[in-house]
Amino acid sequence: MGSGENLEKVEAFFAELASEGRTIVREQPKLDLELYLQNYKGRTRFDRLYHIGRTSVVLSVDALKAAVAEAKAGKDVERYRDVVDALRRVSLSDPETELDKAWIEKTSSANKKETQHLESQLKVYRSNLVKESVRIGNEDLGRHYEAIGALAKASEVYGNMRTDASTPKHLIDVGKHLVRVGIQMRDWTTVTLQLGKLLSLQTQEVPEDATATLRYVNIAKGLAHLEAEAYKEAAQCFLSVDNNPRLASEPDIPSPNDIAVYGAILALATMDRSALKTKVLESQTFRPFLELEPHLRKALGLYVNGKYTACLEILDSCKPDHLLDIYLYKHVASLYKQIRTKCIVQYLIPYACIKLENLEAAFGKPGQSLGAELCEMIRSGVLSARIDSIDKRDTLEAVKWHQKRTLDDIRRNGLLALHVDIALKRHGSLRLGDSQGLDEVWYTEGRDPMDLAT
């Protein structure tokens, strides 16, 4: 197949995905696929490859081919079928696009035999009434179900372990199994419930184990809050993750690099400059994570130092990579919008009046109207200001200055009513007595002007 035909297949594939509402990344991402995958083990490796393959136009073929290899290294036959079908739709020249029917038959047969063996073994353990053997039997069967993709059955079997658990560690293992499967199923209700149980058990562990459990809980809870769009709470969770390198990172949950990305982006979207400085940049807990993502550390520093345009430029350069993350991608647009809004509001604080052309120079985007964005910010209450277009002098003016002018007018009118002649010099870009050519948006509210709503 020629390169032109192959390109047409790729475009058709992603056009169909886009019509289904998926986010498509056409830019060249910065991540190195091989180095990226070294951070993960287990089923999440396939999940991430499959997501990248169906999101990034540039990395699609390489990611899907790697996902095929990852699927064949496991036992989940349905995953293998799905990824081969996806790869076939973007490339016909690769041998991986042909289903390996021999592997499917061999793996399916082995899975069936292993299921029967583990179920029979569990029945024997139960008949012998040995609780520890029953617990281990349930765990083995649960791991098997999880490996072959029967996640609902795995969750049920893992739950059965609780009856035969005899120590806090056993109960914590149950909770972690259920959280891990719940995250894969995107069953955040179960995840949240089990995390609460883990927290109550964590106090019964020895200190080092308790710290490791709390670390796990903070990461998983952060994901649950992120999914619920509780961004401030999610930020607090990721910023609280212990950075002790002696604590083994769970292979199926976000890596230290992911924690740095989630924590930095969420903090930028939800915290003020003072909090970013003390709770993020100067945090003894979170700063080691930021060292893994120096560009985000730089973006945070730029924001804290009032260099908002440069901060947004760094974030925009990272956006393709963030859209390839299986947990973050759905929230990138919302989080980036919140960060941009904060930057614009903070930029405007020192000004009583500023020309829109100056704002366009700092924050303008090609083909997009900044005026429309400002109007939306004013109407939503995020920005206390007005847009004035009198005599084509497009300016954005702080409400506080106009509030003073209004009070002056009220006093003047009162004095005029008493026949006291007062001359008040009018100045600035606003002429209150003349409505000709006035094109403006007013916003009034009992708060300090230009103050960011948090």
Per-residue pLDDT tens over the stretch 339-362: 999 999 999 888 778 888 888 888
Task: Please report whether residue 213 resides in a domain.
Answer: no
Examine the domain organization and report whether 89 and 3 are in the same domain: yes
Per-residue pLDDT tens over the stretch 215-237: 999 999 999 999 999 999 999 99
User: Taking a C-beta distance cutoff of 8 angstroms, is the pair 141, 119 a contact?
Assistant: yes
Examine the domain organization and report whether 234 and 165 are in the same domain: no
User: Taking a C-beta distance cutoff of 8 angstroms, is the pair 203, 210 a contact?
Assistant: yes
Highest mean pLDDT among 267-276, 361-370, 419-428 belongs to 267-276
Q: Which residue has the higher pLDDT, 404 or 411?
A: 411
Q: Tell me what the mean pLDDT of segment 65-80 comes to.
A: 96
Look at strands 395-398 and 353-355 and give their pairing: antiparallel
Q: Which residue has the higher pLDDT, 273 or 389?
A: 273
pLDDT range class, residue 422, cuts 50, 70, 90: very low
How confident is the prediction for the chain on average, in pLDDT?
85
Long-range contacts of 210-213 (CB under 8 A, 24+ apart): 211/242, 211/244, 211/247, 212/247, 212/248, 213/172
| pLDDT at residue 156 is higher than 70 | yes
| pLDDT at residue 447 is higher than 50 | no
Q: How many Å apart are CA 141 and CA 155, to the nearest integer?
A: 10
Q: Tell me what the mean pLDDT of segment 418-436 comes to.
A: 41
Task: Please report whether residue 212 resides in a domain.
Answer: no
Q: What is the pLDDT of residue 356?
A: 82
Cβ count within 10 A of residue 424 = 11
pLDDT range class, residue 449, cuts 50, 70, 90: very low
Q: Which residue has the higher pLDDT, 403 or 358?
A: 358
Task: Please report whether residue 375 resides in a domain.
Answer: yes
CA 27, 32, 34, 39 dihedral sign is negative
- Looking at the chain, the whole-number percentage of residues with pLDDT higher than 90 is 63
Examine the domain organization and report whether 277 and 391 are in the same domain: no
Closest CA to 216 of 231, 201, 228, 232: 201
Q: Which residue has the higher pLDDT, 310 or 440?
A: 310
Q: What is the pLDDT of residue 154?
A: 97
Strand-by-strand arrangement of the 440-441 sheet: 353-355, 395-398, 385-388, 440-441
pLDDT range class, residue 304, cuts 50, 70, 90: very high
Task: Please report whether residue 64 resides in a domain.
Answer: yes
Q: What is the pLDDT of residue 424?
A: 41
Backbone torsion region of residue 71, taken as left when φ is above 0, otherwise alpha when ψ lies between -120 and 50, otherwise beta: alpha
Examine the domain organization and report whether 280 and 332 are in the same domain: yes
**Where among 177, 205, 233 does a domain terminate?**
205
Examine the domain organization and report whether 277 and 363 are in the same domain: no
Q: Tell me what the mean pLDDT of segment 387-405 comes to.
A: 59
Q: How many Å apart are CA 222 and CA 143, to the nearest integer?
A: 25
Q: In Å, what is the CA distance from 400 to each residue of 6, 60, 174, 451?
A: 60, 52, 58, 11
Q: Which residue has the higher pLDDT, 245 or 304?
A: 304
**Where among 205, 238, 258 does a domain terminate?**
205
Q: Which residue has the higher pLDDT, 165 or 1?
A: 165
CA dihedral 51, 53, 54, 55 (to 10 degrees): 80
Per-residue pLDDT tens over the stretch 238-291: 999 998 766 656 767 899 999 999 999 999 999 999 999 999 999 999 999 999
Examine the domain organization and report whether 229 and 342 are in the same domain: yes
Task: Please report whether residue 34 resides in a domain.
Answer: yes
Per-residue pLDDT tens over the stretch 180-213: 999 999 999 999 999 999 999 988 887 878 888 9
Supply the CATH number for residue 158's domain: 1.25.40.10
Task: Please report whether residue 438 resides in a domain.
Answer: no
Strand partners, 396: 354, 387
Q: What is the pLDDT of residue 95?
A: 86
What's the length of the chain? Answer: 454
Alpha helices in 186-282 (DSSP H): 188-202, 207-227, 231-239, 256-270, 273-275
Closest CA to 201 of 210, 192, 188: 210
Examine the domain organization and report whether 279 and 342 are in the same domain: yes
Q: How many Å apart are CA 134 and CA 263, to the nearest integer?
A: 41
Please report, as a single letter, which amino acid is at residue 38: Q
Task: Please report whether residue 245 resides in a domain.
Answer: yes
Backbone torsion region of residue 167, taken as left when φ is above 0, otherwise alpha when ψ lies between -120 and 50, otherwise beta: beta
Q: How many domains does the chain have?
A: 4
| pLDDT at residue 165 is higher than 50 | yes
Q: What is the pLDDT of residue 454?
A: 35
User: Taking a C-beta distance cutoff of 8 angstroms, is the pair 246, 258 a contact?
Assistant: no
Q: How many Å apart are CA 384 and CA 147, to the nearest integer?
A: 55
Examine the domain organization and report whether 247 and 319 are in the same domain: yes
Q: Tell me what the mean pLDDT of segment 353-382 comes to.
A: 84
User: Taking a C-beta distance cutoff of 8 angstroms, is the pair 300, 264 a contact?
Assistant: yes
Supply the range of the domain harboring residue 115: 110-205
Examine the domain organization and report whether 73 and 122 are in the same domain: no
Q: In Å, what is the CA distance from 26 to each residue of 197, 313, 321, 329?
A: 43, 18, 11, 14
Closest CA to 44 of 448, 325, 389: 325
Examine the domain organization and report whether 52 and 145 are in the same domain: no
Task: Please report whether residue 447 resides in a domain.
Answer: no
Examine the domain organization and report whether 168 and 182 are in the same domain: yes
| pLDDT at residue 81 is higher than 80 | yes
User: Taking a C-beta distance cutoff of 8 angstroms, is the pair 101, 89 a contact?
Assistant: no
Examine the domain organization and report whether 78 and 194 are in the same domain: no
